[in-house]
Homo-oligomer: A and B are copies of this chain.
Amino acid sequence: MSASQQTLERSNKRLLKVLEKSVVERPPIWLMRQAGRYLPEYREVRKGAGSFLELCYNPKLAAEVTLQPLRRFNLDAAILFADILLIPDALGQKVSFQEGEGPVLECISSEAELAALSLDNISGHLAPVFETLDRLKSELPDHVALIGFAGSPWTVATYMVGGRGSPDQRAARIWAARDPAGFQSLINLVVDATVIYLREQVDAGAEVLQLFDSWAANMPTAEFERWVIAPTKQIVAALGKSHPGVPIIGFPRGAGPAIPGYIQGTGVAAVGLDTGVPRDWAVEHVQPLCPVQGNLDPFALVAGGEALEREARAILESFKGGGHIFNLGHGIVPETPPEHVADLVDLVTSWQG
């Protein structure tokens, strides 16, 4: 494909335009966890697919569930169906998903245990994910952007060390506090794995990348800089070198007043705002730095009706003066009626700012 063709192609994709800081008449919309349990057709596929990991590693089915929300809703992007814990899995750490319990990993708790992990098979192990992207690339409508993703090293490490999600990420925080050099080795390993992973995602067709840092809250400034900002910056720089022009959206959930420093420190192209970020504050302190994405309360999407419409319009109005990608502040929850998602997408795509 020639450069001019690529430019032409991009120009059809509203999400890419916003990330390139072009002006668009209405914000693009996609929704975190737009493929997922709230959709009956997802639950149907899930039932026959074996474990959650088996679904992630099945290119045909993973592509199918990625496409499901696109068939129902006029969304501007598809996001690869995968999980942030594929990285520990590819590094050789045993990961399993227990129904109703979420993921469980065999914990790593010292630098010595890192010896059991290896970068050697990242590409091989994750080949099915790249095949999923390859399939999607040819099946998406012209105006729909394809988003790849990974967890941020800090968040992935909290699972690798804690074995499962925890409200205070205690295990990782304690390791990092007691033995920062050892913990740094773990972070470095995850950074290296993530760079390999994301580069191959782009080679396979991803046009935008998102880094999910779900556990970026409650960290003191120095820890936030060392474990959140610095590794993210390394990934952004590495991808910028090998794949210039592929925008990376960072999502440091719960980082609050630390978000402006995160943008400046990492060089991300755009930033996700969780539901707790006050919009007037974000308009003043975040949006001048880069396009913002998110903020709609997933529970407003559960409620639907007037409450949803009011919130959605308030977000559209708040952010209309700068770069804005419409999204939720966190993933769609299973209790969400699909009709509410349809209502939201209709509202946003027909909005005339």
Copies in the complex: 2
Q: With an 8 A cutoff between CB atoms, is A278 at the interface?
A: yes
Question: A-side binding surface: helix, strand, loop or mixed?
Answer: helix
- Cα of A212 to Cα of B231 in the assembled complex, Å: 33
Q: With an 8 A cutoff between CB atoms, is A257 at the interface?
A: yes
B277 touches A223 (CB 8 A): no
A258 touches B275 (CB 8 A): no
A218 touches B278 (CB 8 A): no
A220 touches B256 (CB 8 A): no
Q: With an 8 A cutoff between CB atoms, is A207 at the interface?
A: no
Q: Whole-angstrom distance from the CB of A168 to the nearest CB of chain B? A: 7
B276 touches A174 (CB 8 A): no
- Cα of A221 to Cα of B167 in the assembled complex, Å: 22
Q: Which of A67-75, A137-145, A300-308 lies on the face that meets chain B?
A: A300-308
B297 touches A335 (CB 8 A): no
B178 touches A302 (CB 8 A): yes
Given contacts A178-B303, A218-B274, contact A223 B297 (CB under 8 A): yes
B220 touches A333 (CB 8 A): no
Which among B176, B275, B307, B333 is the interface contact of A170 at CB below 8 angstroms?
B333
- Cα of A172 to Cα of B225 in the assembled complex, Å: 33
Q: With an 8 A cutoff between CB atoms, is A237 at the interface?
A: no
A220 touches B275 (CB 8 A): yes
Q: With an 8 A cutoff between CB atoms, is A165 at the interface?
A: yes
Q: With an 8 A cutoff between CB atoms, is A255 at the interface?
A: yes
A300 touches B335 (CB 8 A): no
Q: With an 8 A cutoff between CB atoms, is A261 at the interface?
A: yes
Q: With an 8 A cutoff between CB atoms, is A299 at the interface?
A: yes
B299 touches A176 (CB 8 A): yes
User: When each residue 295-334 of chain A gets 1 if its CB lies under 8 Å from chain B and 0 otherwise, what string results?
Assistant: 1010110110001000100000000000000000110010
Which among B168, B220, B256, B329 is the interface contact of A300 at CB below 8 angstroms?
B220
> In the complex, what residues of B have CB within 8 A of residue A163's CB?
none
5 new A-B contacts, CB < 8 A, other than A174-B299, A220-B275, A220-B329, are A174-B333, A177-B303, A221-B278, A223-B297, A254-B256
